[in-house]
Chains A and B, each alone.
Chain A
Amino acid sequence: MIRFIFYRLVIAIPVLWVISLLAFYLKEIAQADQRLLSTEDTRFNPVSGPQTFESAPKAQPQFYLAIRPHRFPDTLYRIKDNRLVKRATSWLRQGYAWDQVQAYLGAEEKIFNSTIYQPYLQSSFISRAESATDLSALAAVLPDSVESYPAVQDWKASMIALTSSRNRWALLIPSIHWYGSDNAYHQWIREILVGQWGQSTIDNRPVWTKIAEAISWTLSLNFIVLCVVFLSAIFFGEYLLRHEHKSRMIWLEGLLFLLHSIPRFFLALIMILAFASDTIHPALHFFPSPGFIEGGEGASIFYKWWLHGSSMILPLFCMILPSLAFISRMYFVKLKHEKIKPYAFHAWAGGLEDEQIIIRHLRRNALLPILALIGMEIPALIGGSVVIEVLFNIPGMGRLMMQSIVMQDWPVVFGILFMTGLLTVLGKLLTDVLFNQWDRRISWSNQQ
């Protein structure tokens, strides 16, 4: 058993590492795009000039090592201007040689920076040339009036050299470059490990505070849902079994099946239309419309529930109903499977009452797969139901994740990913230990 727990905790390490890689990668893509957007046209704006960022990263490679064609330079990360990087990478990927790309970009820089040529080159030409990655398109945008200038001729010569340097097959030879620990990922992960999780970029609050507030809502909601669903599923499943052959049971089973097939967001929308708005009839407007839910900084979750309990009835209902239908049906099916096994038949032949057979024998065996089903849902329980939380404006994990992804608040996104990954691993460990306590037939060796 200790070996099993140890194994599960070891599994957590690659999970968290992969999550950190993923979060870092997402952050890098998004930030590169943002920089590209925000430096647009500032270069030729004499007033503001090139913009400088406090958060502009040092010239660092992204990761410990890079695998790329041997023709690529190792120092591409030193170019600060993102548009230049984009153009250079585009040419390199088409198979042009780095020396020629560099020479060409230098010649282009000379034209764009010199005050002599500025008046002759229309600004539209500059912006077109600046963003162009297609060489044939570049040659076409040159105005005829400046053909004879020496710098322009240099530029043309370097373009011809660049064109002839193309070799696609050279891309096929890979090389690995080791950058060492002076890289952006290393720096970021060190801060994370030390405990500096940073602040949300939206409202500058610490990441942990935001997550703690959200997770208290999600966990308390899901706890209630889980208790209600579990207890009433036991009741409904056994009720169905007791009255299996009565005709009215067809209707109950059919109803449960219909409820199980209703998408939660549709149910929620219908509930809001009917009971939280005046759309159908004002007299049906029982519950407050989904609005602003908040309990002040640092208020306890019980106080928040006291304040907003009435807004929670509809979401709870929408979360409970479909899963109640699903779990009850599953439990009923499991009970039927157990019922035809020899041990149940023996118990019946020995003269046990129905109640005794169900409670003492069937329930124990049929509940186990149901618990396994709930164990598989742990990531969803921690992550919260995004749709319900967005629809009812509940500030839980799902809505926080949605907001921070849409507003590109990467510290919070990483915090949530990390939190959910860790809690999922621990939750699975806990359910497995509980299973073993419940049913000794499950051996640890089967699960390793």
Chain B
Amino acid sequence: MGQANIMVKSTITRHPLARPRRSWQLRVARWILWSSIGIAVLAPLIANDRPLFCICDRQWHWPAFRSIAESLDWINPSSVKYDDCIAKVMPIIPFASSTLDPTSSGYNPPGTRSSSGMHWLGTDALGRDVMAGLIYGTRYAWIIGLGATLLAAMGGIMIGMMAGYWKNNLLKATVAQYIALFIMIALGSYYYMIISWMWVGWTWLLVMILYALVWGFILYWLWVFCAGRGRLLPVPVDHVIMRGIDVFESFPKMFLLMALMVIFIRPSALALVGMIALIRWPLFVQIARAETLKESTAAYVISAQNIGVTWYHIMFRHIWPNIKPALITTAIFSISASVLLEASLSFIGLGLRLERTTWGSLLNEGRQYLPGWWLAVFPGLAIFILILALNWAYVSKANTEKSVEQI
């Protein structure tokens, strides 16, 4: 009797086609996300043991700006000592994440003063500033979250759209095309092996991208060349891809990641991004496939097919703009999942190399020394705030797109 009727209000108050209100959560989330990206990009200017500006021997120096170029391997590290320069302008936090405190090593609680400045959030066992660690950790969080998501999205969306568009019967191939496909896949993986013997690191990545482009080009023209001879058989694209994912889904993925981290002893950030992308791409395949399936029964796609628009034009010009919102929502979700994955790997001690301070590795130190509560609380809060902002952005986005069903 006293209870409000659950059916009344929602059906009356708002028009079903009214634009959804901008939530305050989305505004706060945007603010947090953009400022944390700003911190990540400008980390060497906010926290650095080198001055922003100084004058040595009547020459102007910009050491902190120089360290950005050094960290990207653009220039060689400078050997100038900035101790007895004049007109020094220090950054807000006069420590880099790897700077050891000369006066007091060991766990310093928040607010400890040292010779070069105040440790606002305390230090870790080696006397490294936690605040500086948090600021540099933002970088790794974004590199890993965004990098893994972009990589997984690129591969997953392509594959998912192919499965959703061609299904099992739309793509037809002659026997010659089947043979060409088989040979190209076999040779392609063989040359992949040869190429990975010859180049390593970033060069390998560039060569691989070039190789994929060239190989796709050759495969496409071979496919066109082999068309039209013999009778046509349907290619079960959807079956092959979805059965592959079925197999992949049954793996305990965290275990796989842990085993890889131990075998390739503490890999670089690039390799970690690759590994996380490897376990995140099936999600993108599933969502892209489901959305494409839904769109491909729409009238505009069928009419386009009937007047003979090519498949790539339909896929990228017609279907892609319509499935993009759902995939962006998925990507936001995936960023927060990747950040959490990296943090929990570092937390159990299987993260990036030791000199790279991430939020997870700081938390790991807090776990090993409980009285140092500042090592547990502040990095944990940083992760919490980033994840919260991403989740807010995700939910607001999902509400406006009306696609909360798929998580």
Determine if B270 is an interface residue (Cβ-Cβ < 8 Å): no
Determine if A158 is an interface residue (Cβ-Cβ < 8 Å): no
Q: When A260-B391, A269-B363, A420-B252 are in contact, do A241 and B377 touch as well, CB less than 8 Å?
A: no
**A-side contacts of B377, CB under 8 Å:** 270, 273
Q: When A261-B391, A269-B376 are in contact, do A387 and B7 touch as well, CB less than 8 Å?
A: no
Docked Cα-Cα span, A354 to B3, in Å, equals: 9
Q: Is the interface of B mostly helix, strand, loop or mixed?
A: helix
Of the listed stretches B61-69, B218-226, B257-265, chain A binds B257-265
Considering only residues 353-406 of chain B, those with a C-beta below 8 Å from chain A are: 363, 366-367, 370-371, 373, 376-377, 380, 383-384, 387-388, 391-392, 395, 404-405
Contact with B along A47-70 (1 / 0, CB 8 A): 000000000000000000001010
Q: When A15-B247, A386-B254 are in contact, do A261 and B384 touch as well, CB less than 8 Å?
A: yes
Docked Cα-Cα span, A326 to B252, in Å, equals: 22
Docked Cα-Cα span, A386 to B387, in Å, equals: 20
Contact call B187/A269, Cβ cutoff below 8 A:
no
Shortest Cβ distance from A373 into chain B, in angstroms? 7
Docked Cα-Cα span, A344 to B5, in Å, equals: 13
Contact call B254/A266, Cβ cutoff below 8 A:
no
Determine if B243 is an interface residue (Cβ-Cβ < 8 Å): yes
Contact call A263/B371, Cβ cutoff below 8 A:
no
Of the listed stretches A101-109, A222-230, A292-300, A400-408, chain B binds A400-408
Contact call A270/B380, Cβ cutoff below 8 A:
yes
The residue of chain A having its C-beta at the shortest distance from the C-beta of B405 within the complex is A369
Determine if B10 is an interface residue (Cβ-Cβ < 8 Å): yes
Chain A interface residue count, Cβ-Cβ cutoff 8 angstroms: 73
**B-side contacts of A358, CB under 8 Å:** 6
Shortest Cβ distance from B83 into chain A, in angstroms? 38
Cβ 8 A contact of A424, one of B3, B250, B258, B347 = B250
Contact call B253/A379, Cβ cutoff below 8 A:
yes
Cβ 8 A contact of A69, one of B4, B194, B243 = B194
Determine if A140 is an interface residue (Cβ-Cβ < 8 Å): no
Contact call A244/B258, Cβ cutoff below 8 A:
no
Determine if B255 is an interface residue (Cβ-Cβ < 8 Å): yes
Chain B interface residue count, Cβ-Cβ cutoff 8 angstroms: 54
The residue of chain B having its C-beta at the shortest distance from the C-beta of A260 within the complex is B391
Shortest Cβ distance from A337 into chain B, in angstroms? 7
Determine if B60 is an interface residue (Cβ-Cβ < 8 Å): no
Contact call B259/A405, Cβ cutoff below 8 A:
yes
Contact call B370/A18, Cβ cutoff below 8 A:
no
Docked Cα-Cα span, A29 to B263, in Å, equals: 8
Contact call A242/B6, Cβ cutoff below 8 A:
yes
Determine if B407 is an interface residue (Cβ-Cβ < 8 Å): yes
The residue of chain B having its C-beta at the shortest distance from the C-beta of A267 within the complex is B380
Contact call B255/A245, Cβ cutoff below 8 A:
no
Contact call B348/A383, Cβ cutoff below 8 A:
no
**B-side contacts of A420, CB under 8 Å:** 252, 255
Docked Cα-Cα span, A413 to B367, in Å, equals: 26
Docked Cα-Cα span, A246 to B392, in Å, equals: 22
Contact call B348/A390, Cβ cutoff below 8 A:
yes
Contact with A along B9-44 (1 / 0, CB 8 A): 111000000000000000000000000000000000
Q: When A333-B404, A340-B11 are in contact, do A265 and B384 touch as well, CB less than 8 Å?
A: no
Please, could you name 27 A-B residue pairs with CB atoms under 8 Å apart, sorted by A?
A: A19-B251, A69-B194, A93-B197, A171-B194, A174-B187, A242-B6, A243-B4, A257-B391, A257-B392, A261-B384, A262-B384, A269-B363, A269-B366, A269-B380, A270-B376, A279-B373, A280-B373, A339-B10, A340-B11, A357-B6, A369-B405, A373-B407, A386-B344, A398-B254, A401-B258, A406-B262, A416-B255
* Seed contacts A270-B377, A339-B7, A405-B255; 14 additional CB < 8 Å A-B pairs: A12-B250, A262-B387, A263-B387, A266-B383, A273-B373, A337-B405, A340-B10, A345-B7, A354-B3, A380-B254, A383-B255, A401-B255, A413-B255, A417-B251
